[in-house]
Amino acid sequence: MKKDFKYQLYKHIIPNICIIIMLCLVGGATLNFNSVNVFTKKDIEAIYNGNKDSSYVSLMINVYWGTEYLDSILETLNTYNVKCTFFVGGQWAEKEQEYLQKIYDSGHEIGNHGYFHKDQDKLNYDGNYTEINSNHKLIKTLLNIDMNLFAPPSGAYNNSTLQVASDLGYKTIMWSKDTIDWRDKDVDLIYSRATKNVCGGDLILMHPTECTAKALPKILDYYLANNLTATTVTQTLG
């Protein structure tokens, strides 16, 4: 009888127990893996506003062209003692190293705008990585700084863009107000878009254009008159 019991134990019960243990281990590992992926994707989001409870607003100037208007813009910012964030493209920075240094020496924040100004929503993980990291390494070499703010060219991004930016230590920055100055060469229109219903935490997108340079003093006067402080994206984020 004992012999028969042991035989049944080894033949049926113990193998079944082993199978149950293996299923639990595999199921637990799969659940853990899926949980990590879900929470990672959910937690990584683009930022469209800074601290809305503050009096800070930020002028974000994307630079990939328009070098000829930078002197006027920098002079105005200096006159008003305002610091802002310049998101620079790698191809531009490599060609205009003197102006890159001038922006940085003026105390402005430098952000990443990709290397070749590609629509990053059309790129996979590797393509996004190359665009962001290539520019990061270039600016690190030229200015010895580690940028941590990334503005996607044309505001185009996908999940891979967000993941790559996060993996490289970046926050992906969008905007709450767009002057559309690259398209509409109208000083009054640029001024209106940069000031209408503006409030603390606004991130205002600009480019170095002739009309932007002309509208900038009036825009900064408006912020001063309405107790708003124009500053860097980092400070506006809080």
Mean pLDDT of the chain: 88
Helix axis angle, 97-105 to 125-143, nearest 10°: 70
Say whether 57 sits in a helix, a strand or coil.
strand
Distance CA 105, CA 99 (A): 10
Contact criterion met (CB below 8 Å) for 43 and 167: no
Mind listing the pLDDT tens digit for each residue in 49-65? Answer: 999 999 999 999 999 99
Contact criterion met (CB below 8 Å) for 74 and 220: no
* pLDDT reported for residue 42: 52
Q: How far is CA 180 from CA 41, 126, 209, in A?
A: 30, 30, 11
Bigger pLDDT: 18 vs 205: 205
Bigger pLDDT: 191 vs 11: 191
pTM over 0.75: yes
List b or e across 180-208, with b for residues whose CB sees 16 or more CB atoms inside 10 angstroms: ebbeeeebebbbebbbeebebbbbbbbbb
Q: How confident is the model at residue 40 (pLDDT cuts 50, 70, 90)?
A: very low
Average pLDDT, integer, range 60-72: 98
Question: Token pair of 47, please?
Answer: 């930022």
Distance CA 119, CA 116 (A): 9
Judged against a pLDDT cut of 60, whether residue 1 lies above it is answered with no
Mind listing the pLDDT tens digit for each residue in 96-147? Answer: 999 999 999 999 999 999 999 999 999 999 999 999 999 999 999 999 999 9
